[in-house]
Structure 1
Amino acid sequence: MSALSSVTVIGGGAVGLATAYYLRKADLDVTVIESGRPGRSTSWGNGGWLSPVLSIPTPGPGMPRMGIVETFQRDSAVAIRPHAAPSMIPWLLRFARHCTRSAFESGSARLGALSREMFDGFDELADLGVPVEVPRQGNLRACLTEAEARHQLAGLAPMRAAGYAVPDRIMGAEEIHELEPELSDGVRSGFNLPEERHVDPGAFCDTLAEYLVKQGVRLLTDTRVTGVSASGGRVTAVETTGGQVRADALVVAAGLDTRLIAGWLGARLPIRGGKGYSFFVPSEHSPSHPLYLSHTKVGVTPLKGGYRVLGGMELADETLRINPRMIRGMIRVARRYLRHLPADESLDRLPDLWAGLRPMTPDGLPVIDHLPHLSNAYVNSGHGMLGVGLCMVSGAALTDFMVSGRRPDVLAPFGAARF
């Protein structure tokens, strides 16, 4: 039986809120500290894909070459800019060492195991009457040629072998346009991952935060953490701009800020920011499916009133400055695949133009573990592009660890000590 009675969670994004949900479900007193509004940082502007099949590490075969080559291409949605942060070069070298086929397949298997129960938490919220909309249209891969589609589908063969719903054939032009009429005439093939789902990440975080408050969770918004005190191998208090917060245990789920906070506690976690971008297109011609646009690292998510174009991977620039070149590259990519994307590329006309820093580790796997040398401090961060999809399952697994004192087998690959 757990000796815990209260827990403080630093971070009010999807991962922090989901962790708080399970801690409160375990009948613990929970306080969530969020520097802004819940879910309005990295969680807000992403695609919201709930996709076990696509839960794979960011580092993979060919990724360094892609980043270096595409940095200098006009239509690039991927860029590596070490000149923007020379201190990140050692991290980039570690990232490159994980861009092997064996590391990618190993990481995919580990994330695949964690993802097996990805939908359960969202289904549980629905059963409780929490109004989170989770459409189930699948995830449609759109390709310009049949050869592209075959190559993309072949890459998912390990997920099919692991029991996930992956088709064994590609669609031709007529079939894919019948399924998704909003695709451009240039799209000639593709395939659908039928069991994948998606959610509006901002609406999800708003709804979950509201539910948590009703359940008695103390939610401190616009509250910045300024320090963490520890003594005798235990965290004793969290110092904030709103005063001191005490609890029996601490969970750091603060996205990129996890690196700083863990550092205060003597843990060196190599979490760095991978900048992603998105913008919203108001439209009466929204695709009905989430779309992954072949190999371009650009996706589309249908939302109320239109759709979100998302993607980009900019490494080594850990600011929130909008890079117009990246946005224009995403626009040009999307225009090749979508029938009704507006022609105007003026950035000031794009609603909800957004940049966010995905918390990334060099091996592409999150850190879900006990912090070294402290008996009551834990971390749930480093999910990269998978935070919304993995938020409920990682929150459930960490809560099980904290309450039972036994690490679930599924968390073994995500330890903090591996760094």
Structure 2
Amino acid sequence: MSGVGGDITPRSAVVVGAGVVGLSTAWFLQDRGVQVTVVDRGEVGSGASWGNAGWVAPGLSLPLTSPHVLGEGLRGLLDPRAPLRLSRRPDPRLWSFLLRFAAHCTTRHWRRALEASLPLLVEALPAYDTLSGAGVEVGARESAIVAGFTDPRAAAGFRRELALVAAVGVPVSSADLDRAELHAARPQLSGRIVAGVRVDGQRFLDPARLVDRLAQAVVRRGATIRSRMAVSSLRSDRGRVIACAAEGPPVGADVAVLATGAHLGDLARRGGVRLPVRAGRGYSFTVPTDAPVPGPIYLPGARVALTPHEGGLRVAGTMEFRAADRPPDVARADAVVASVRDLLAGVRWDERSSPWVGARPVTPDALPLVGATGRPGVYVAGGHGMWGVTLGPVTGRLLAEQITTGKQPPELVPFDPLR
């Protein structure tokens, strides 16, 4: 490290986790002159970043702790097809987490969490623009997201929620769509969809391509990426942080950033981070369509996001609280299909791809963990729930600022990992 006027600026960093959040943090650290090594327990982008819906949608990136989630959770105990699926197996840690999560499912906390997230939501798209302006081919396309409803009353409730979001200051605009406008905008919607809302100014991308391009960008800038290095511990040695794995040589640097998604708690606890992170697993698969899909579709009643992908439609949905590394449960993908089959037309469901499952990192208060831990030189970046793609670049920019200046940006105060 180098000291200038009493400030200590790191010259090197090891970033543990090669998803959108970790690679974005690596890129912005490089932008501030830090030499970076990125390590990952699997391959680049093999975690929750790879197969999600790929929405960059600050207007819809809302806290998970909304009051109606409690009702969905109770339904998930009884109905395996419910959007939120809870295991009935005895798991004291999981049930302790869920009780804490449930305690935050109030209107008051939801609004406070939204207000806390406002600076990140405002800067989410500009952070992507920074990457694009520097030559990173993020592949984001601007598009409205069209939400469809079988009941006009549900559409009215969705509009009220968007009005609350806009009143807080989140940059979101929307418009009602009548039946003709709705089906002209998204021909894949079936006749059962009778009301719609267009959410403007959002974007979508291929998340696997984004991660690949970010990895290429940091390597071009001099980074080393080590795949299949499962970091098991961190130790300190003469002011440096050493990331150690069961196999292979350790990696040392002035600072370490833990961006390991749903596995964040494993190492972060040793730095005094007590807030747990659990895997809220989401499923996706791709289906062919008879006609091109013009843009993203949201079906709030089923909690399913649909995105144009490789000439077809990527279908992403469900929230399943199970161990992060468990294999996909085909029944969960079948439940997603059952929830939306009659809401869509011209979709060849019998030709869908094998299901993919990704472990979204969820915290009990629905706020990310971003910043310094109680261990010198160790930082964390994670816990974004379903919004890692939307908030990854802005998280990386703000955390790189904190690491290189030694000062916590005010935008990150609500996300202090030691809260």
State the TM-score, normalizing by the size of structure 2.
0.93
1:386 matched to which residue of 2? Answer: 387
Query: 1:186, 1:70 → 2: CA distance?
Result: 24
Query: 1:186, 1:283 → 2: CA distance?
Result: 18
User: Would you say 1:299 and 2:305 are equivalent positions?
Assistant: yes
2:415 matched to which residue of 1? Answer: 414
1:33 matched to which residue of 2? Answer: 39
| Post-superposition offset of 1:55 | 1.6
Query: 1:116, 1:82 → 2: CA distance?
Result: 39
- The amino acid of 2:103's aligned partner reads R
User: Would you say 1:267 and 2:273 are equivalent positions?
Assistant: yes
Residues paired across the two proteins, number:
412
Query: 1:227, 1:183 → 2: CA distance?
Result: 49
SS in 2 for 1:39: coil
Structure 1 residues 286 and 67: alpha-carbon distance in aligned structure 2, compared to 1, 3 A threshold: farther
Which of residues 105, 114, 119 in structure 1 aligns to 2:111?
105
User: Would you say 1:364 and 2:366 are equivalent positions?
Assistant: yes
Report which stretch shifted further, 303-312 or 11-20: 303-312
- The amino acid of 1:380's aligned partner reads A
Q: Deviations over 1:217-267 (max 9, x none)?
A: 1111122213211368x6531113220111111110011221111134443
1:16 matched to which residue of 2? Answer: 22
2:403 matched to which residue of 1? Answer: 402
User: Would you say 1:351 and 2:353 are equivalent positions?
Assistant: yes
User: Would you say 1:126 and 2:159 are equivalent positions?
Assistant: no
Query: 1:164, 1:108 → 2: CA distance?
Result: 9
Query: 1:354, 1:71 → 2: CA distance?
Result: 23
| Post-superposition offset of 1:325 | 2.9
Structure 1 residues 175 and 142: alpha-carbon distance in aligned structure 2, compared to 1, 3 A threshold: same
Structure 1 residues 56 and 168: alpha-carbon distance in aligned structure 2, compared to 1, 3 A threshold: closer
Query: 1:84, 1:278 → 2: CA distance?
Result: 27
Aligned 1:177-188 pairs, distance under 5 A: 177-188=183-194
Query: 1:215, 1:60 → 2: CA distance?
Result: 41
Q: Deviations over 1:253-288 (max 9, x none)?
A: 011221111134443331111111111113352422
| Post-superposition offset of 1:380 | 0.3
Query: 2:173, 2:149 → 1: CA distance?
Result: 15
Query: 1:210, 1:169 → 2: CA distance?
Result: 39
Contact kept, 8 Å, 1:82 with 1:88, in 2: the verdict is no
Query: 1:211, 1:74 → 2: CA distance?
Result: 42
| Post-superposition offset of 1:82 | 4.3
- The amino acid of 1:170's aligned partner reads D
User: Would you say 1:142 and 2:182 are equivalent positions?
Assistant: no
Structure 1 residues 95 and 235: alpha-carbon distance in aligned structure 2, compared to 1, 3 A threshold: farther
Aligned 1:301-320 pairs, distance under 5 A: 301-320=307-326
Query: 1:352, 1:394 → 2: CA distance?
Result: 32
| Post-superposition offset of 1:350 | 3.2
Contact kept, 8 Å, 2:174 with 2:200, in 1: the verdict is no
- The amino acid of 1:237's aligned partner reads I
Report which stretch shifted further, 80-89 or 389-398: 80-89
Structure 1 residues 66 and 186: alpha-carbon distance in aligned structure 2, compared to 1, 3 A threshold: same
SS in 1 for 2:235: strand
Query: 2:294, 2:382 → 1: CA distance?
Result: 31
- The amino acid of 2:242's aligned partner reads A
User: Would you say 1:333 and 2:339 are equivalent positions?
Assistant: yes
Query: 1:190, 1:214 → 2: CA distance?
Result: 44
- The amino acid of 2:400's aligned partner reads T
Structure 1 segments unaligned to the other structure (5+ residues): none
Contact kept, 8 Å, 1:9 with 1:33, in 2: the verdict is yes
User: Would you say 1:237 and 2:239 are equivalent positions?
Assistant: no
| Post-superposition offset of 1:151 | 1.0
Query: 1:194, 1:3 → 2: CA distance?
Result: 41
2:207 matched to which residue of 1? Answer: 201
Q: Deviations over 1:65-120 (max 9, x none)?
A: 21211443364222121416332111110000000010111111212221111112
Contact kept, 8 Å, 2:189 with 2:345, in 1: the verdict is yes
Which of residues 213, 224, 228 in structure 2 aligns to 1:218?
224
| Post-superposition offset of 1:167 | 4.5
